[in-house]
Structure 1
Amino acid sequence: MILGFIRASKHSHGSFPLCPGKRSSPLITYRTPENDLLHEISIMKRERRNILVTCGGKWVGHILQLREVAQRIDTLRGAKVFVADCQPITPAGQFADGSFQVPAIADAAYPQELVRICRNHDVKILVPLIDIDVQRLTASRELFVAEDIALVGPPAHIAELCFDKRCFSRWAEKRGIPVPKMIDSMALDAATYPLFAKPARGFGSIGAKICRTVDEARQAEKERADLVFEEYLSGTEYSADGYVNRAGTCTVCVVRVREKVVGGEAYRSRTVQEPEVFHVAYRTIEALAGEGHRGPINVQIIRGDKLGVIDVNPRLGSASLLSNQATDGRLFEGMLREAVGETVWGDPTDYRVGLQLWRFLGEVFYQDDRVLGVYPQVPSVSKGTGEEESPTEKPSQPIGPHFHDHMKRKQDRTLKIHDTERP
């Protein structure tokens, strides 16, 4: 009979190794009754390859496309894509390989809970999709580095620069990047109207409004104290989805028109070739790369009588799915490849022009934490949301390509279905 127990080598459960990113393999220590000797056997470290999308409750398309491109990468082939959200049941969770209910972003335990999930479910890559999540997690990056988890997000100072509207406006003006002129609240009486008011640290167009008179501007101030005012730009609204590689080079810059926007998100969009817009977006991305930004980035621009950068999000845009397809998956694939240590290169002007996106609504019906129906139907993958153990037990069945063969420009990138049991 062998009596044994697990003893962590170098560091104990719940602590971090001395060398970030390199966890020692734990040892099994056991004693044999025959000779009363202690023996130690090293446990092979499990290979991490799974992906966790945080605050991913409604982002079904991101789950499907991340799963597709992961199959192109040897070290991620067979990867499962999980969703973490503060809600127990989510639309994206029905299409993912597993889902986790986590504390709210503001909860002090939120980052550590994500670390625990990553550790227990072989997650290698963490992908936040909304602004406040990016800011919270990048400020806690050392937690993920210590566990060898790749956080797809900017350095904390870049997140702060982009999310603080006043700081970004001053930063852009110094570098000759066109932005709407900021109007100090003391100068509202003498300002030319209309003005655009928005929260100094807002997101998703929440709290933003047009002020057509000084009275409307003063009323907006009374309703919300943290507003900033800027000249109102009208015209065509564009987004540029970009990527900055590990070497600090912009490898993707897809310009698209935001044809229909709801709550700050593009529901209809179309890729275009607009040299002036591309040039401004590219300059903005390169300037932020010079400040240290790495990874995905989204630049929003309005062009009418004047052209100006109205927002920058150092993350994947909500409609970056279109740009990913316009680059034949190069945007998401490059992001994942760099997360596992590769360096990717590419021509930022290389994308399909005229490709259109029309997002649609789906429905999840549930009662008492039990899912009753999902429309459109989940493609033959059994889903569950309650049990922590279920994600590692459920086999991942990668969804086939969602686009016609003409979207596949490279023969060696044909998606294949692989056995996804743990190696």
Structure 2
Amino acid sequence: KTYGLFTDVSLDPTGIFVNKIALQEFNLQYDIHQLQQEDQWTFKELEDIIQKTPTGKKLFADNDHLIRQLLISAGVKTKPNEFDASSEEFKKAINMYQKLQERDLLMEGTLEEQMEAFKKGDLVFIVAPYKALVQHLREAYWYYEDNTTRRFFENFRGWGPQTVTQPEDGNWKITVRQQPAGMYAMPADHWSFMLFPKPSISSDYRSILNRASYPVMLTSTEKPEDVAFILNELLEEYKGVANTEFLTREPLQERIQQHRDLDALQKAALRDGYGDLLAASGIWEKILKPAIQNNPTEYEKINTAVKNYFHTGEEIEEGCSWVSIYDNNDEKMLELKPNELIRVKLNKAEIHVEKAIVIVALYGQGNEMVSYEVKVINFEEEEEVSITTPNDVAGCKLKIMLWDSLDGMEPIIKPAIYYGK
């Protein structure tokens, strides 16, 4: 059943802009555009293209959109409380990105430099939102505008309340205008826009949608309250996220580069669109982007930093490398377990003082302190502090702080926080 539509159809997915002429040099035995139409455009073909990239050619523009879309396409969960850097999906995305780095296939530089290289054929792919680049690549074209406006009538022609589209002054006028060519305009058959490939034939495309739009429910919808409740749940993660781009309007002809982009745009907008909650929550910019640029394989450190930022909005100093927690079997923990004797161990190499006070505080579901342990640390030998969790740790947190003294209470390093589910 169709319960509703989005008024702007969310036609701004992130995808791959392809220089088709440059791609011909690869002598591929398949057409990636045909593969997409048949839902068979996968990581397998992308890896093959990486291996066949001619010497001196750059394959991808190195930008945020590339790695974000790579994570999404690989299947990484973007709800901050479900994100897992140690998942196979995250590792698959990072592995693909590292292959591009190892073969020196990423082009750095400004967007202008990358666009110029793309136009010349020195750069094959640019990952970006559709509307961000299409205006720069499109040749000049004609479009029309009319003088209609939408008006509300309390009783239109005896039909009751109606919103009617009609000419502003009673006479219908159509104006034909020319849209100038973009700064990096290319012939229409020299480039295309495609979805980012999917991990396997059996999986789905997952394209980041960059513009929100109003959901409109059909008047014939059964149980509209239930449908509205579902929509509220789906959009819960976006509460408080500023996004007014849906207010822009432009003729449909301006948004679609002839008919050939429709396959990618329709798939993304109507079936395979995906919201990037990691970016919306700030976790991408604050945590993931620096981690991927520096130490993308330190999975546990990334997980801890993401969870802390999600709950507190604060970054953890050095990804909490100064402290770790273990259960009674000496297994490292990333979150609290019920009824467990937790052993807190400090990493002396990450703490550059001779003496400190460590405070281990356990907080309950109402953020009240349940118990705590305090210990003076001299770092002469391996030091640890123990504390026991309650039978139910859902909503609980363990906060580990390092101070200079109980008198001064000056933090030496940002606290580490672990949560229970």
Instruction: Provide the TM-score with structure 2 as the length reference.
Output: 0.21
Instruction: Find the structure with the greater CA-based Rg.
Output: 2
Question: Which structure dedicates a bigger proportion of its chain to helix?
Answer: 2
Instruction: Provide the TM-score with structure 1 as the length reference.
Output: 0.20
